[in-house]
């Protein structure tokens, strides 16, 4: 069981996933800082100097912090947009790689095709020579008999 676990952990996909989670976590902190420290104060100034983190409604003894909810929505939208852009870039690079591979395959196929054509032509020439040689052998044998 330990060997299976070791094999599982050492696979590239698991390591890639772990790196992705760590980088994603760090990226989330950067986006949160961008939203909380830069965007939300600017948005607050634009709509009249409102600090979103302080926006709350008191209902009885409970506080509903809808300002933090708005900040979290903006966080989500920025992260989602960044992931969208990243996926578009990766897909574009992937398509370029596929096109390059297809072009290489076409070149290989063309080369193979030309080699096969040359072989066919050589075989045709050789078969004509063999037919001619067989005819001359038969003719020689016939002359010897006569």
- Segment 24-43 shows an average pLDDT of 82
pLDDT class of 90 with cuts at 50, 70, 90: confident
Please report which residue ranges of the chain form alpha helices under DSSP H. Answer: 2-10, 12-33, 40-46, 66-145
Distance CA 55, CA 47 (A): 13
pTM, rounded to two decimals = 0.48
Q: What is the pLDDT of residue 146?
A: 58
Rounded CA Rg of the chain: 37
Q: Directed axis angle between helix 66-145 and helix 12-33, to 10°?
A: 150
86-87-89 Cα angle (round to 5):
65
């Amino acid at each position: 069981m330990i060997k299976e676990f070791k094999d599982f952990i050492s696979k590239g996909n698991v390591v890639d996933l772990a790196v992705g989670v760590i980088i994603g976590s760090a990226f989330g902190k950067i986006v949160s800082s961008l939203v909380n420290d830069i965007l939300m104060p600017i948005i607050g100034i634009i709509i009249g100097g409102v600090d979103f983190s302080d926006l709350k409604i008191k209902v009885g003894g409970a506080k509903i912090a809808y300002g933090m909810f708005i900040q979290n929505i903006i966080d989500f939208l920025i992260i989602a947009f960044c992931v969208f852009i990243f996926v578009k870039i990766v897909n574009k690079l992937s398509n370029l790689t596929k096109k390059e591979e297809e072009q290489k395959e076409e070149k290989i196929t063309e080369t193979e095709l030309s080699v096969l054509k040359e072989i066919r032509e050589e075989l045709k020439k050789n078969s004509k020579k063999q037919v001619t040689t067989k005819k001359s052998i038969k003719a020689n044998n016939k002359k010897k008999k006569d």
